[in-house]
A and B are shown apart, each in its own frame.
Chain A
Amino acid sequence: MTRAPTRVQMADVAREAGVARVTVSRVINAPDSVAPKTRDAVLATIARLGFVPNLNAGTLASRRSRIVGALVPTLSNAWFADTMDGLSVRLAAAGYQLLLGQTRYSETEEERLVDAFIGRRVDAIVLTGTQHLPAVHATLQRAGIPVIECWDLVDAPIDTVVGFSNADAGAAVARHLAGRGCRNLGFIGANEYRSALRLQGFREAASAAGVQAVHTHLVTPPSGIHDGARGLEALVHAHPAMDGVFCSNDTLALGALLAARNHGWRVPEQIAVAGFSDLPVAAASVPALTTIRIESRALGEYAGDLLARRLRGASDDAARVHDMGFTLVVRDSA
């Protein structure tokens, strides 16, 4: 196919419109300072030639890239995708674009991406989680840009944390299951630390409620619907008396529900099943899933607004720890 040999330059617009280059520049950057007639002529020429102003040129002068780097383990998990969706929408509204990286649950990959993003002079970084290699802490603390960690809570974040307590959420599920009479509990979760925090809270609250033991089945992240099905089968096989199970996300819980249906195990009568995150499928499934609701998109939106304020220089918000909380949503499965 044939392609235009060169890009349309500002000089081309100036020549075509019969004005000076500085006038074209003013039309782009300070349109109010140009006479309406001239402005309209230049804008018409810009449209006709398909000229696109170079936003990077402004970047060099202001040392601002207007790019925010964001890292998630994987977009294939709907809850992270929702957070990125909310973040991207709010940042776009403030004139920032999102540079996206996926760590695939690897701390070294996170380190590599943080270096690459800092190298690109991103204006801010959003990380998933609060566990990072020491080198990442050091790099980010030196970088002098806003850093938001999300999907967890810690007392001393690198800069700012927006999230919820994974351990408290796990504890809330244990109290709910124990409260409805479950005495023999199981846990199906991904082998990563946010899931481990949920298990820790779940275990402690279960023990406090007099539950003897919590049987666990851990899978390699990212965890899929089949992992939930196989997890429930393995747990029931090993512990036939198990009467309640907490899955560290709704995808796993949905797999567990479908496995129970396949085997004719009645939910919640025989086994109560609880999930985590409240994906739309939780309310739609049969039986409807009891779960912990995390406002994944709102979390991203909140982080985006927070960054936009910080980057505008309006740091009205001195708080470094933002607890978005969670809600136990009781439906039919537990």
Chain B
Amino acid sequence: MSAPGNARMSDVAREAGVSLVTVSRALNTPEKVSRDTLAAVRRAIDLLGYVPNLMAGSLASNRSRIVAAIVPTISNLVFAETIEALTQTLAKDGYQLLLGQSGYSKQAEASLVDTFLGRRVDGLVLTGFSQPKALRLKLQRANVPVVQTWGLPGPGQTTLIDMAVGFSNVGAGRAAARHLLARGHRALAFIGADEARSRQRLQGYRAEVLAAGLPDVEAAFVPPPVQVDAAGPCLDRVLERRPDITAVFCNNDLLAAGLLFACQRHGLRVPERLAIMGFGDLPISRAACPTLSTVRIRRAEMGEQAGKMLLARLSNVALEATSFDLGFEIIERTST
């Protein structure tokens, strides 16, 4: 490729026959520049293809206008939607998003936080609440707004680093159990990813089942990130150990869809022989046949709200609350 390199502001000034400070004014406060001069500068900018250096501005204002977000993996569609909404909310105020993937590793998360703080990002969005104490302290000392997502600080816990937007994973697990119990199920199973949020949902699910005086939940775990084909082998394992199981709560809708396909292959009727409940309300839960009962999570609103909280903090607008509960909703369809 032939590339002469970036045109500089001094090139524009020379081409337009004006001083550097005039070019700078034409860019930043055009109303202070005469119309003819402005036109000359714009012609030079177009001719040279000059793009103003936003990094230089960030040095002066001490703002990078970059926010960083860390998710376990964007391959998991549920996080992709949150990130997409976050990006759009930030873009409206001229902020761009640096993306980091932790691959569900706490160590990788800590190292990404170091990198992002080192880049002097203006804000950070994290997934979950399981950051080690040292990392939480470092973030608090860094004096950078932080929003934790996909959960809420639990009662009596002090894991809130700064701000949070999410829902109660334990509460969602409880609600899923209540739905299945109300449909008459007495032998319940759980299939989920082996990670913190999934375990919190199981905790609530299990608590509700035990409170009803029923046998403990049969739980099967798969390594994250969970894919649709992970459910089939789990079904075999669960039914081998507990042939009496009549309902399964899956930690996400992809697993639930995979379980539904596995039942179709095995000739198990859903919901007559086995009720299946998902989590997330992904489009597949509505399109599946039978349609999947699930727990609706407002994934896009979560990203949007996280963005709004950061932007409010960055423009020194006081927040009504540092923790925002988006709630969840049980969606009853035909699979349970």
Chains A and B are bound partners: yes
Residue numbers of A with Cβ under 8 A of B are 1, 3-8, 49-50, 52-56, 59-60, 65, 67, 74-76, 78, 81-82, 84-85, 88-89, 92, 97-102, 115-121, 138-139, 141-145, 147, 158-159, 224-226, 229, 254-255, 258, 261-262, 280-281, 283-286, 297
Select the residue from A78, A98, A120, A144 with max chain B CB neighbours within 10 A.
A120
Kindly list chain B residues whose C-beta atoms are within 8 Å of the C-beta of A158: 1
Kindly list chain A residues whose C-beta atoms are within 8 Å of the C-beta of B81: 75-76
A116 and chain B: residue at smallest CB distance: B96
Ranked nearest first, the 3 interchain pairs of A and B with the lowest CB-CB distance are A144-B3, A55-B118, A75-B80
Give how many A-B residue pairs fall within 8 Å (CB-CB).
178
Residues of chain B at interface, number, CB under 8 A? 67
Alpha-carbon distance between A56 and B3 when the two chains are bound, in angstroms:
25
Which B residues, 163 to 210, have Cβ-Cβ distances below 8 Å to chain A? Answer: none
Point out the residue from B7, B101, B140 that lies within 8 Å of A89, measured CB to CB. B101
On whether the beta carbons of A85 and B101 are closer than 8 Å, the reply is: yes
Point out the residue from A52, A138, A226, A261 that lies within 8 Å of B117, measured CB to CB. A52
A55 and chain B: residue at smallest CB distance: B118
Q: List 12 A-B contacts (CB under 8 A).
A: A6-B143, A7-B141, A50-B141, A55-B118, A76-B84, A97-B99, A98-B99, A99-B66, A99-B99, A142-B6, A144-B4, A284-B228
Kindly list chain A residues whose C-beta atoms are within 8 Å of the C-beta of B53: 119, 121
Point out the residue from A67, A76, A88, A147 that lies within 8 Å of B77, measured CB to CB. A76
* Given A88-B99, A119-B54, A254-B284, A280-B227 contact (CB < 8 Å): yes
Q: Determine how close the nearest CB of chain B comes to the CB of A56; give it in whole angstroms.
A: 6
Q: Determine how close the nearest CB of chain B comes to the CB of A297; give it in whole angstroms.
A: 8
Interface assignment of B75: CB less than 8 Å from any CB of chain A:
yes
B137 and chain A: residue at smallest CB distance: A50
On whether the beta carbons of B115 and A55 are closer than 8 Å, the reply is: yes
On whether the beta carbons of A76 and B49 are closer than 8 Å, the reply is: no
Q: Which of B149-157, B213-221, B244-252, B254-262 contacts A (4 or more CB under 8 A)?
A: B254-262
Kindly list chain A residues whose C-beta atoms are within 8 Å of the C-beta of B258: 281, 284
Alpha-carbon distance between A280 and B114 when the two chains are bound, in angstroms:
34
On whether the beta carbons of B7 and A142 are closer than 8 Å, the reply is: yes
Kindly list chain A residues whose C-beta atoms are within 8 Å of the C-beta of B284: 225, 254, 281
Q: Determine how close the nearest CB of chain A comes to the CB of B268; give it in whole angstroms.
A: 12
Interface assignment of B265: CB less than 8 Å from any CB of chain A:
yes
Point out the residue from A4, A100, A283 that lies within 8 Å of B99, measured CB to CB. A100
Alpha-carbon distance between A224 and B77 when the two chains are bound, in angstroms:
13
* Given A75-B83, A262-B289, A97-B115 contact (CB < 8 Å): yes
On whether the beta carbons of A115 and B100 are closer than 8 Å, the reply is: no
Q: Determine how close the nearest CB of chain A comes to the CB of B218; give it in whole angstroms.
A: 22
On whether the beta carbons of A118 and B118 are closer than 8 Å, the reply is: no
Select the residue from B51, B64, B112, B264 with max chain A CB neighbours within 10 A.
B51
Interface assignment of B18: CB less than 8 Å from any CB of chain A:
no
* Given A55-B115, A98-B98, A99-B97, A286-B49 contact (CB < 8 Å): no
On whether the beta carbons of B55 and A81 are closer than 8 Å, the reply is: no
On whether the beta carbons of A285 and B261 are closer than 8 Å, the reply is: yes
Which B residues, 97 to 154, have Cβ-Cβ distances below 8 Å to chain A? Answer: 97-101, 103, 112, 114-120, 137-138, 140-143
* Given A6-B143, A119-B51, A56-B120 contact (CB < 8 Å): yes
On whether the beta carbons of A102 and B88 are closer than 8 Å, the reply is: yes
B118 and chain A: residue at smallest CB distance: A55
Point out the residue from B2, B51, B80, B288 that lies within 8 Å of A81, measured CB to CB. B80
On whether the beta carbons of B5 and A225 are closer than 8 Å, the reply is: no
Q: Determine how close the nearest CB of chain A comes to the CB of B209; give it in whole angstroms.
A: 28
Which B residues, 251 to 280, have Cβ-Cβ distances below 8 Å to chain A? Answer: 254, 257-258, 261, 264-265
Interface assignment of B37: CB less than 8 Å from any CB of chain A:
no
On whether the beta carbons of A99 and B98 are closer than 8 Å, the reply is: yes
Kindly list chain B residues whose C-beta atoms are within 8 Å of the C-beta of A143: 3, 6, 51
Alpha-carbon distance between A119 and B52 when the two chains are bound, in angstroms:
6
Q: Determine how close the nearest CB of chain B comes to the CB of A79; give it in whole angstroms.
A: 10
